[in-house]
Structure 1
Amino acid sequence: MNLEHTYASSFPELATPAVPEIPAATTVLWINEDLAAELELDATWLAGADGLRWLTGGDEKTTALAYSGHQFGHLSPVLGDGRAHLIGELPTSEKRVDIHLKGSGITPYSRPGSDGKAPLSAVWREAVIGEALHALGVPTSRALAVLETGETVRRRSPLPEPAGILVRVADSHLRVGTFQYAHMNVGSDQRIELAGYALSRHYPQVNPGDNPALILLRLVAEHQAHLVAQWMGLGFVHGVLNTDNVSISGQAIDFGPCAFIDGFSDEAVFSSIDRGGRYAYRNQPGITQWNLARFAESLLDLIDPEQPDRAVHLATDLLEHFEETYEDARTRVFAAKLGIAVEGAAGAPYERLVAFIDRTLDMLDEHTLDFTGFFRALTDTPDHLVELLPNSETLKSWLADLATLRQDTGTAPGRAEELMQGANPVYIPRNLHLEAALRAVESGDTAPILRLLGAVRQPFTRHSGLEDLETAPARSRFFTSFCGT
């Protein structure tokens, strides 16, 4: 089962040869059988010795990818894969994907003092988050396998914990930061080829015309707008929306200190290093637009090499449409959560719908209501919502206005239920449930993480025996997340 290396061979300045460090004691803990089937791979074979060798690079020409990144607003000219390796590209009948390792040892891009390794708990965390987002309909990178190396690392505390390697699948690992690095280190002819490569790989149905850089900017902006709108509709906070974590393919990628909101706050932030709240829930659309502006800056001389002012005008005009695209996508996401058929909301009803969405979030924020729980209760037992806010005229008025809005948009009861059933999950990776399962992993017990994984992979179907995973533990508002892989 040979892998290909079209990116590394086409752009050697952006992919440096690097060999993963795979300890002899490395074993396969988990194979994502569903993903393996999608990739036309034999899960049983992957779990064996030959499969492990294939998953970890075998005789492939493995590389570490170069990229830059604005981290918390400050440009780091050289970042790159400091503890990760691109094994190669797997072409399937549907598309080409990257097979990529995280926690696989030091590379030429490793930071001083780095061991290049990852805690096994952090590897499992990324696996669970990726599977949850995928099941919720969000474009995302996913874990193909979780490996345990037999080594230990020190991260969260002075005590050692088991180390692991994530085998990740993504449509590619091209990032905004890739183009920023190329802008500073690669000639314009190759950068035009890079834009063309990204278009042909991720947007093959689109004619690049005579300005592939501008077309790429438009498509990435559109896909990022829809991606962030989906995050907002799930109460998902990515946590580190640096430009090196913004994928050109429009997939969610790199789940370090991410989290799902329990008790809703528009200012929710979980990452221990985001002390200023730069990447808080409410800031995600704006910071994504800011990241896209940095992407545009790396493309300006390709958009119009002869007239810089025209290039700026074209890029600015395009990015000004980001907010409109995002707001429309957000409206559609929340309309489904509220059981409103947005196609019936033309003109004044649409404006009322937008205002009602904002009013809903304000109500959730004011009373710190459980985000996922509120919308699921609206789906299953809307009459019981009053139990969340007893004697609340606010909630009673809200329910009455929701009924009116459904009527005015021609949303039949059956249609409302259908929309909500597909938009409001029963299960998400509740932060403290996930943390408890990860602490069990550190002790060698994988049963809790597999139980949680099973729940979030079928998020819209209630299962007997998983009632405890439907709600957040009492102290969930004190949760803080940390970077792991």
Structure 2
Amino acid sequence: MPFDNSYARLPEKFFQKIIPEKVKSPELIKLNHELADELGLKLPEKQEELAAIFSGNKLLEGSEPIAQAYAGHQFGHFVPQLGDGRAVLLGEIINKAGKRYDIQLKGSGRTRFSRGGDGRSPLGPVIREYIISEAITNLGIPSSRGLAMVRSGETVFREKELPGAVFTRVASSHIRVGTFEFFASRRDNESVKILADYVINRHYPQLKEASNPYTALLEKVCEMQANLIAKWMRVGFIHGVMNTDNTSICGETIDFGPCAFMDSYDPATVFSSIDHHGRYAYGRQPKISQWNMAALAGCMLPLFHDNESKAREIGETIIDKFQNMFKKYYFSEMSRKIGIQGADEKTFEILNRILEMMDKAKADFTNTFRSLSRAINNEEIFIKQFSEPDSAEKWLIDWKMMLEEHGISEADAYETMHKANPAFIARNHLVEEAIKYATQDRDYSYANQLIEVLSTPYDDQSDKSRYADSPKPSERVYQTFCGT
């Protein structure tokens, strides 16, 4: 790997230099060849060598392994030190297109940030993160990605004995809102400035020309987050733990713990076993994202202005713009689900009506919108999604009239909806099925088949209909769990 480790050149207070702990008998489960090619990696062909590399047993030349320091607000409560408790950043590489990526191992052993944890990962969370991060990427949503999965040959102890594994994650960077909080909480304004300058140079170099690059940085990160959350909402994705330490500064989906895709539409949907009060419910994600951006603004106040009162006023002005930013992206994403490029007052009204109908009927979010794509030629397939057929028929009449008023042909509407409404998502019961067979029977075929289907989520795959079906009552997943 052609490493160029810029983060490791920052002051040592930003990280701990550490070598991954070796595992007993690594076994390669999966290598993402497509991603490896995109990164320009020239890897050995032997499974044993690949397993050694992606378990941390063999360090490649140029790697400078570090565990990154960060803090974070977890469910609204500040924790001054979190950090990579079970992850090691092997280094950064630059692909042929000149884009820089982090290569990180998860489950690679204890660090000084482990806080009593074992630093390892069970196999289940590794499979979950690989499947869902790839699914999110293929849905057209910015995300960290899975490069490899390795079974460690060791036992991990959680609520019971579980097989261990190591996950190799690729991201544009692993800098979080919590990274800023780590230094701001220590009143280390010099390090906050160093970090902000690093983020600007690495992710947003165009901001160097701004009159104040730091206020421009906050505004840019807000915009990236607003866009990201809108894309999550379009496909019914629920992150599960939108803590500030899980909020990427470069606008990517990161840290797939108790995440899930919504089956039946309900804005109050929560899956995370630790989210007892619904803080991170599907419908609350925009508000929480704004809250996280306010936490970032608080860290950066000394960079905005020498006068604290003036700095706070600047920060509040930017944060107050967040909801309008989000609404712009949200209605752009959601209007495409009903065949319209761009939105107006009438579009908002008819969009809200279908969501209210779905909420009342507890209709399947993904399948209902996908059926709308087909309703131009087969209205019945759409109407049967609802408990009140008359309301659905009336909505269809008004929807078709609106398309006509916008001058949108049925063919164009279909094309727009087909690209906005996936046929396949990483349904929770299918992910759990893949995990069960992998952990209990060493059978990875279920995971591999699911990954294959989710690689083209907008395509009709008639022979893969079971992957599109709503879960039966006995299959429904009500809780998901954090990997630690």
Q: 1:405 to 1:44 in 2, by over 3 A?
A: farther
> Which one of the candidate residues 350, 353, 363 is aligned to 2:347?
353
Which string of whole-angstrom CA distances, capped at 9 and with x for unpartnered residues, describes residues 116-173 of structure 1?
Answer: 1111111010000000000000000001000111011133x42x22110010000000
d(CA) in 2 for partners of 1:169, 1:394: 46
Mapped partners of 1:283, 1:259: distance in 2: 15
Match in the other structure for 1:460: 458
Within 5 A, what are the aligned runs for 1:268-279? Answer: 268-279=269-280
2:95 matched residue in structure 1: 92
Equivalences for residues 387-466 of structure 1 within 5 A: 387-389=384-386, 392-443=389-440, 444-466=442-464
Name the SS for the 1:205 alignment partner.
Answer: helix
Give the Cα–Cα distance (whole angstroms) in 2 for the partners of residues 238 and 390 of structure 1: 29
Q: Percent identity?
A: 38
Retained in 2: the 8 A contact 1:228–1:284? Answer: yes
TM-score (ref. length: structure 1) = 0.94
Is the alpha carbon distance of 1:38 and 1:186 closer, same or farther for their aligned partners in structure 2, counting shifts above 3 Å?
A: farther
Flag structure 2 segments of 5+ consecutive residues without an equivalent. none
Structure 1 Cα separation of the partners of residues 187 and 41 of structure 2:
36
Contact 1:263 1:477 in 2 (8 A): no
Q: Which residue of 1 aligns with 2:268?
A: 267
Q: For the structure 1 residues 208 and 64, does the alpha-carbon distance in structure 2 shift closer, same or farther, using more than 3 Å as the test? A: farther
Between the aligned partners of 1:210 and 1:413, the Cα distance in structure 2 is 47
Distance 2:102 2:386 in 1: 48
1:74 match: 77
Counterpart of 1:14, as a letter, is: F
Structure 1: any 5+ residue segments left out of the alignment? Answer: none
| 1:484 alignment counterpart | 483
What is the aligned partner in structure 2 of residue 117 from structure 1?
120
Two-structure CA RMSD over aligned residues (Å) = 1.7
Q: CA deviation at 1:43?
A: 5.3
Shift of 1:183: 1.3
Question: In 2, Cα distance between the equivalents of 1:376 and 1:338?
Answer: 10
**Distance in 2 between residues matched to 1:161 and 1:208, nearest whole Å:** 52
Per-residue deviation, 1:40: 0.8
Contact 2:28 2:50 in 1 (8 A): no
Deviations 1:163-214 (A, max 9, x none): 1001000000000000000213474333223112111211233335342221
Deviations 1:432-481 (A, max 9, x none): 11101110011211010101011111101122431111112212555210
Q: Whole-Å Cα distance in 2 between the matches of residues 47 and 405 of structure 1?
A: 57
- The one-letter code of the counterpart of 2:179 is T
Give yes or no for the alignment of 1:105 onto 2:109.
Answer: yes
164-173 vs 26-35, greater mean Cα deviation: 26-35
The correspondence for 1:376, drawn from 370, 375, 385, is 370
Q: What is the CA distance between 1:48 and its match in structure 2?
A: 5.1
Aligned-pair CA distance for 1:385: 1.1
Q: Name the CA distance, whole Å, in 2 between partners of 1:390 and 1:161.
A: 43
Structure 2 residue matching 1:483: 3-state secondary structure: coil
Aligned-residue offset at 1:407: 1.6
State the secondary structure of the residue aligned to 1:36.
Answer: helix
Query: C-alpha separation between the residues in 1 aligned to 2:388 and 2:23?
Result: 61
* TM alignment of 1:77-476, pairs within 5 A: 77-94=80-97, 95-112=99-116, 114-155=117-158, 157-158=159-160, 160-185=161-186, 187-304=188-305, 306-342=306-342, 345=343, 350-381=344-375, 382-383=378-379, 384-389=381-386, 392-443=389-440, 444-475=442-473, 476=475
Q: Could you give the per-residue CA deviations for residues 357-414 of structure 1, whole angstroms, max 9, x where no partner exists?
A: 2222111111100000001111134512112236622111111111122122222222
Q: 1:351 to 1:230 in 2, by over 3 A?
A: same
Query: CA contact under 8 A between 2:358 and 2:386: conserved in structure 1?
Result: no
Q: Give a deviation string over 1:261-315, Cα, whole Å, max 9, x none.
A: 00111100000000100000010000000010000000001111x2111111111
Change (3 A) 1:47 1:201: farther
Range with bigger deviation, 23-32 or 471-480? 471-480
- Bigger shift: 377-386 or 74-83? 377-386
- Structure 2 residue identity aligned to 1:107: T
Cα distance in 2 for partners of 1:186, 1:439 equals 47
- In structure 2, what is the Cα distance between the partners aligned to 1:55 and 1:353? 50
Which residue of 2 is the match for residue 53 of structure 1? 53
2-structure distance, mates of 1:51, 1:198:
32
Note if contact 1:31-1:47 (Cα within 8 Å) is conserved in structure 2.
Answer: no
Q: Give the stretch that moved more between structures: 173-182 or 395-404.
A: 395-404
* Whole-angstrom distance in 1 between the partners of 2:19 and 2:103: 14
CA contact (8 A) 1:341 1:410 kept: no
Change (3 A) 1:187 1:144: same
CA offset digits 1:323-374 (Å, max 9, x no partner): 01101111011111111121xx5xxxx0111222222211111110000000
Shift of 1:53: 2.7
Alpha-carbon displacement from aligned partner over 1:11-56 (angstroms, at most 9, x marks no partner)? 3211111221121411221111111111011355485516743773
